[in-house]
Amino acid sequence: MSETKDRPYHHGDLRRALIDTALDMLAADQNWTFTLREVARRSGVSHAAPYKHFRDREMLLRELARTGFIRLGRAMSKAMSADRSSPSMRFIGGAQACIDFALRNPGLYRLMFSSDADKTADPHLHDAAMETFGILLQLLEEGQRDGSFRPVAISALAAASWAQVHGLAMLAISGQLLEEKVGSEPVAAALEVLLNGMCCKD
């Protein structure tokens, strides 16, 4: 766990400085109980400065969550665009990337799916979350077109995929995937079972 350091504000992008400082605090403490006043202090600006960009703490939290979805989408896209021979292999790559992202950013990942990241209150957050989810939908559709995945409703495949991958991520960052319960390689084994259920049988 990295230590959060005061990051005095020395440049013109106050909004970016506040977001970066809050992300550092979230990474260090693994929670988002901080106040705008504390973010301002760590950023080296006046207590009133954050209100130029964020009317309240909840608005800042939603922006952190939006940033998280953008970063998660990039991580998944990068993993899935690697040299993989089939939609099935790309699916495993994307799923593993999601879980790895959660393990590297546990506080941020929890925030992204918390009630404090109210997607109905922020269309930009909603769009970022849906764009990331769209990466999964696009791959599932591609897999159905080439016969890799079962010809069932895309929504059913997406729900099953999301539930299992997100569940694995949450269990992993909570330290619940214990070897005595689920074996030495639970993520790989669970993803294999999921994929077997999604794929067309020869």
SS (H, E, C) the chain: CCCCCCCCCCCCCHHHHHHHHHHHHHHHHCCCCCCHHHHHHHHCCCCCHHHHCCCCHHHHHHHHHHHHHHHHHHHHHHHHCCCCCCHHHHHHHHHHHHHHHHHHCHHHHHHHCCCCCCHHHCHHHHHHHHHHHHHHHHHHHHHHHCCCECCCCHHHHHHHHHHHHHHHHHHHHCCCCCHHHHCCCHHHHHHHHHHHHHECCC
Q: Answer whether 0.85 is exceeded by the pTM.
A: yes
Residue 5 pLDDT exceeds 50: no
Task: Output the pLDDT for position 117.
Answer: 93
More confident call, 174 vs 8: 174
Residue range 77-113, pLDDT digits in tens: 999 987 677 999 999 999 999 999 999 999 999 999 9
Residue 6 pLDDT exceeds 70: no
Query: 202 pLDDT band (50/70/90 cuts)?
Result: low
Percentage of the chain lying above the pLDDT 90 cut: 88
Percentage of the chain lying above the pLDDT 70 cut: 93
Residue range 122-164, pLDDT digits in tens: 999 999 999 999 999 999 999 999 999 999 999 999 999 999 9
Provide long-range contacts, Cβ within 8 A and 24+ apart, for 4-8.
4/28, 4/29, 4/42, 6/41, 6/42, 6/44, 7/42, 7/43, 7/44, 8/43, 8/44
For the chain, domain boundaries: 7-55, 58-198
Sign of the CA dihedral running 44, 45, 48, 49: negative
Structure tokens at 148: 């890799």
Q: What is the CATH number of domain 7-55?
A: 1.10.10
Query: 200 pLDDT band (50/70/90 cuts)?
Result: confident
Residue range 44-80, pLDDT digits in tens: 999 999 999 999 999 999 999 999 999 999 999 999 9
- Integer Cα distance of 155 and 195 in angstroms: 16
Q: In degrees rounded to 5, what are phi and psi of residue 122?
A: -145, 105
Say which CATH superfamily domain 58-198 falls into. Tetracycline Repressor, domain 2 (1.10.357.10)
Residue 195 pLDDT exceeds 60: yes
Residue 1 pLDDT exceeds 50: no
